[in-house]
């Protein structure tokens, strides 16, 4: 991957990571968030309108109040690293689910992430287990690919 491609991808992932920050999900564990994102396969299309509305309302609220995402230079590097890690979860999940979540507008993705706070503990445990299995399987596939390079 070229330097310019890496920079563009990093910008994109930071943007995706901001959705997690706005939805106050930066401290949630990776497995649960991946499971939650994979759950989009089970969401009916009509419900996506609800997510769009939530995301749109939050975007409007932030714009009206002049709320910007915290992008201060002092801690930008470490913060950006965390945003990139969270943003990459969208890319990972997007590749493996039937519907292309990244083709939806930002409001749908943000609205879906905002809904996470309404999940019950039982739901979160279920998402955690789903995400854990998914990430373990993904790691096995990556390991196989690494070994096949040598043959």
Average pLDDT over the chain reads 85
Q: What is the pLDDT of residues 55-93, one digit of tens each?
A: 999 988 888 877 665 544 445 788 889 999 999 998 888
Give the pLDDT of residue 117: 94
Give the pLDDT of residue 28: 95
Please state, in angstroms and as integers, the Cα–Cα distance from residue 41 to each residue in 12, 72, 90, 96, following that order. Answer: 23, 36, 14, 10
Residues 34 and 94: beta-carbon distance below 8 Å: no
Q: What is the pLDDT of residues 99-130, one digit of tens each?
A: 666 677 788 889 999 999 999 999 999 999 99
The Cα 25–Cα 115 span in angstroms is 11
Residue 145 pLDDT greater than 80, yes or no: no
Residues 63 and 82: beta-carbon distance below 8 Å: no
């Amino acid at each position: 991957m070229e330097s310019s491609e890496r920079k563009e991808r990093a910008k994109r992932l930071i943007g995706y990571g901001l959705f997690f920050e706005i939805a106050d999900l930066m401290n949630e564990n990776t497995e649960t968030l991946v499971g939650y994102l994979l759950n989009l396969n089970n969401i009916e299309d009509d419900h996506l309108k609800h997510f769009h509305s939530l995301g749109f309302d939050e975007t409007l609220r932030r714009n009206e109040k002049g709320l910007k995402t915290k992008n201060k230079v002092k801690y930008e590097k470490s913060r950006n690293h965390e945003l990139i890690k969270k943003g990459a979860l969208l890319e990972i999940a997007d590749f493996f689910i039937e519907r292309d979540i990244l083709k939806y507008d930002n409001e749908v993705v943000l609205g879906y992430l905002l809904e996470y706070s309404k999940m019950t503990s039982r739901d979160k445990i279920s998402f955690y287990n789903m995400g854990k299995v998914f990430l373990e399987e993904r790691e096995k596939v990556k390991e196989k690919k690494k070994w096949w390079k040598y043959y």
